[in-house]
Amino acid sequence: VQLQASGGGLVQPGNSLRLSCEASGFNLDDYGIAWFRQAPGKEREAVACIKCRGGGEDYADSLKDRFTISRDNAKNMVYLQMNSLTPEDTAVYYCAADSSSKYGTGWTTTYEYKYWGQGIQVTVSS
């Protein structure tokens, strides 16, 4: 099982960026996929999750108006569209996968995910 994240980089405030997470070695449709991020000196925090609590998507409350998670099972890809980026979005972003359904806020917990991709840096700066 592998998760390969891509699409990070340097972006100016107010701009958008789309992260991609390519899954291999498993059937993506059988897994919930989440994005987490970790800013310097801070704990890793949940950003969004798709199909983690049955169907549908979940978002961190502070990000749901700007971020959108989606998946393409045919391509084994999960995406995170990030709009109106601010310097506070600067972090290392990770995608994670797990086959068990989450309950309540369980989707936000890092130990609920068995598989992790490598982190990718997103820097929002002028």
On average, the pLDDT of the chain sits at 94
Output the pLDDT for position 47.
98
Give the angle 38-40-43 at the CA atoms, nearest 5°: 45
33 band by pLDDT with thresholds 50, 70 and 90: very high
What value does the mean pLDDT take over residues 15-26?
A: 96
Output the pLDDT for position 62.
95
What value does the mean pLDDT take over residues 54-59?
A: 89
Output the pLDDT for position 124.
98
29 band by pLDDT with thresholds 50, 70 and 90: confident
The HSE-up count of residue 50 (CA atoms within 13 Å, CB side) is 19
58 vs 107: CA distance, rounded Å: 8
Q: What is the pLDDT of residues 59-115, one digit of tens each?
A: 999 999 999 999 998 999 999 999 999 999 999 999 999 988 888 888 999 989 999
